[in-house]
Amino acid sequence: MSSEPYKNVYLLPQTNQLLGLYTIIRDKKTARPDFIFYSDRIIRLLVEEGLNHLPVQKQIVETDTSENFDGVSFMGKICGVSIVRAGESMEQGLRDCCRSVRIGKILIQRDEETALPKLFYEKLPEDISQRYVFLLDPMLATGGSAIMATEVLIKRGVKPERIYFLNLICSKEGIDKYHAAFPDVKIVTGALDRGLDEHKYLVPGLGDFGDRYYCV
């Protein structure tokens, strides 16, 4: 998908395989080892889809048959930035595809009462303004945390069109708000949920991603 009003939003193909993976991680009976395993499979698909949208340049190589192959190679350098804590779960999926990729961290926590994000810490690669940035966070609920993290990146000189926000589940209102704030950022997601509950959790959602991946 990438059509108006969702220009720059790429929803993973809603295949039965993908639906099966989401069925497992959304099931409250799924225990942590399976939650991690199947989330990691979705994360890998998101990373691969993000890589599909990086710009390339023509590259011709000679094969062992002494013939030329008209190929492409990636232009530019990338880095990852995870929104701590839950976003850190997506770092390994990025590393599995991009060997020794640089990874920055932004610590943003939602206030449990108000659901408003608070920025505590950022540590980003020095040359981040020269890079394509894969921003990592599995959950987009109100959109507040992702917006705050994207503002940090832009303040550090990253161009919005070089940011790829990778996300497992987003709410309709969250994606609308984020997309309105940053129409040039590319959003790669696997699921679009119908809304938020009174605690600003995604519905149907899956509960607290960070708790399920790391703690419970």
* Smallest separation, CB 74 to ligand URA (Å): 32
Q: Is 144 in the site for Mg ion (CB under 5 A)?
A: no
- With tokens 């990438």, the residue in question is 2
Distance CA 24, CA 32 (A): 11
CA distance 182 to 108: 19
The binding track of 181-210 with respect to Mg ion, each residue x by CB under 5 A or -, is: ---------------------------x-x
Least Cβ distance, residue 137 to ligand URA (angstroms): 9
Please identify, among the stretches 48-56, 77-85, 149-157, 204-212, the one whose residues bind ligand URA according to the rule CB under 6 A: 204-212
The label of the residue with tokens 């048959």 reads: 65
CA dihedral 210, 213, 215, 216 (to 10 degrees): 110
Residue among 114, 127, 194, 197 flagged as catalytic: 114
Task: Report residue 103 as tokens.
Answer: 């990874």
b/e map of 121-140 (b: 16 or more CB within 10 Å)?
ebebbeebeebbbbbbbbbb
Q: Which stretch binds ligand URA (CB under 6 A): 6-14, 55-63, 180-188, 197-205?
A: 197-205
- With contacts defined by CB under 6 A, name the span among 9-17, 95-103, 175-183, 208-216 that binds ligand URA: 208-216
Instruction: Based on the shown chain and the rule CB under 6 A, indicate whether residue 137 belongs to the binding site for ligand PRP.
Output: yes
Q: Residue 208 catalytic?
A: yes
Q: Taking the complex as a whole, how short is the minimal distance between the CB of residue 86 and Mg ion, in angstroms?
A: 6
Tokens encoding 85: 């804590």
Count Cβ atoms within 10 A of the Cβ of residue 161 and give its class: 0-12 exposed, 13-18 middle, 19 or more buried: middle
* CB of residue 27 to ligand URA, shortest distance in Å: 15
Among 104, 143, 190, 205, binds ligand PRP (CB under 6 A): 143
Contacts to ligand PRP by CB under 6 A: 83, 85-86, 109-110, 115, 117, 137-146, 174, 200, 208-210
Contacts to Mg ion by CB under 5 A: 208, 210
